[in-house]
Amino acid sequence: MSFQNLQDALYWLGLAVAIYFLVRVFINLAAAVLTYGLLPKANVAKYGKWSVVTGASDGIGKEFAIQLAERGQNIVLISRTLAKLQSVAQDIESTYGVKTKVLSTDFGRGDCIYDEIAQLIAGLDIGTLVNNVGTGPPIARFTEMPDPSQAIRNTVEVNIISVLKMTQLILPEMVKKQRGLIINVSSGGCVAPLPSLAVYGATKSFVDYFSRCISHEYEVEGIKAVCIMPYFVSSNLTLNAKPNFWLRSAKDYVRNVLAVTTTSTRWSHGCWQHDVHGWMGRNLPHKVYATSIGLVLQRIKNKQM
């Protein structure tokens, strides 16, 4: 091959690669504009009549319960505080005319709670499972966590074991019916290392990995599993900070997430502002990214004290 031919071949190869990436960017942008611009209403009724939401009495989980009920779903709400659960359930029943079941339990207690959950949901036509409940130790370096043994056990039970056990309880029936939607709430925090939130971030990485595997394993059986990785959403976890451009309200955030579930994606940050945040996490030099997140966490930590 002459030098000129080699130059020509490299020119065409370079052009093809550039076009490939431009087309991909265009498709991704078009998908984002269609999803976040039009906010298509997820047709959750096609998966079944009931939705189960963990951590449903507050924050993001409460919004999932409300917005799924708005779409005609009967809701099973699970978290610790009975009074809050009953209040959300009553609001949902009176506003949307759907049925609810509540269970006050602590996912931090381990295996012993799942028999009661199994009894509660037995025989229900569950189409949607939202594995939302999550917690974490106070913001601190690994060796400086207060009461580390308890903090580690509790975070693993709530963030990891609950996702595995709830999926184990509900997925087999979904497989039998060849339909189901599972929304696993992870965190944008696990996109890149998060100093001072090592245990929390690591458990959320687990949720992300597990969710993607399940999504591939059961796709052929009509099951859709989507991992959602929020950055900052106004809730107790973020000390109910006032929503702004980056920090979304739970209502706005969940509306976007439900629109995302109508697409073919297996994971998402849940809204375009958090997608931009996620892009920075994956592409900025880690020191720059970690420093900027560190500043936000420091502000939250100062408020916690």
Ligand X SMILES: NC(=O)c1ccc[n+]([C@@H]2O[C@H](COP(=O)([O-])OP(=O)(O)OC[C@H]3O[C@@H](n4cnc5c(N)ncnc54)[C@H](OP(=O)(O)O)[C@@H]3O)[C@@H](O)[C@H]2O)c1
Q: Which two tokens stand for residue 292?
A: 């900027």
Q: How many CB atoms lie within 10 A of CB 282?
A: 9
Binding mask 103-142 for ligand X (x = CB under 6 A): ---xxx-----------------------xxxx-------
* Residue 61 binds to ligand X (criterion: CB under 6 A): yes
Q: Which two tokens stand for residue 11?
A: 């020119």
Q: How many CB atoms lie within 10 A of CB 160?
A: 16
Of 47 and 107, nearer to ligand X (C-beta) is 107
| Contact pick of 35, 44, 58, 69 for ligand X (by CB under 6 A) | 58
Q: Which of 96, 200, 231, 289 is catalytic?
A: 200
- Are the C-beta atoms of residues 46 and 122 closer than 8 Å to each other? no
- Are the C-beta atoms of residues 161 and 109 closer than 8 Å to each other? no
Does the annotation count 200 as an active-site position? Answer: yes
Specify the stretch interacting with ligand X by CB under 6 A; choose among 22-30, 38-46, 58-66, 95-103.
58-66
Q: List beta partners, residue 52.
A: 76, 129
Question: Residue 234, SS3?
Answer: strand
Rounded CA-CA distance 195/52 in Å is 33
Rounded CA-CA distance 292/283 in Å is 14
* Residue 86 binds to ligand X (criterion: CB under 6 A): no
Of 128 and 132, nearer to ligand X (C-beta) is 132
* Residue 275 binds to ligand X (criterion: CB under 6 A): no
Count of positions on this chain that bind ligand X (CB under 6 A): 28
* Residue 256 binds to ligand X (criterion: CB under 6 A): no
* Residue 153 binds to ligand X (criterion: CB under 6 A): no
DSSP assignments along 139-201, one per residue:
S--GGG-SSHHHHHHHHHIIIIIHHHHHHHHHHHHHHHHT-EEEEEE--GGGSS--TT-HHHH
Rounded CA-CA distance 260/44 in Å is 12
Listed residue (36, 71, 37) closest to 256, CA to CA: 36
* Residue 270 binds to ligand X (criterion: CB under 6 A): no
Of 161 and 171, nearer to ligand X (C-beta) is 161
| Contact pick of 44, 47, 50, 57 for ligand X (by CB under 6 A) | 57
Residue type at 15 in one-letter notation:
L
| Contact pick of 47, 64, 232, 289 for ligand X (by CB under 6 A) | 232
Specify the stretch interacting with ligand X by CB under 6 A; choose among 1-9, 13-21, 228-236, 256-264.
228-236
In the complex, residue closest to ligand X by CB:
134
* Residue 67 binds to ligand X (criterion: CB under 6 A): no
Shortest spacing between CB 203 and ligand X, in angstroms: 9
Return the active site residues: 200
Q: Point out which residues bind ligand X (CB under 6 A).
A: 55-61, 79-81, 84, 106-108, 132-135, 158, 185, 187, 230, 232-233, 235-238
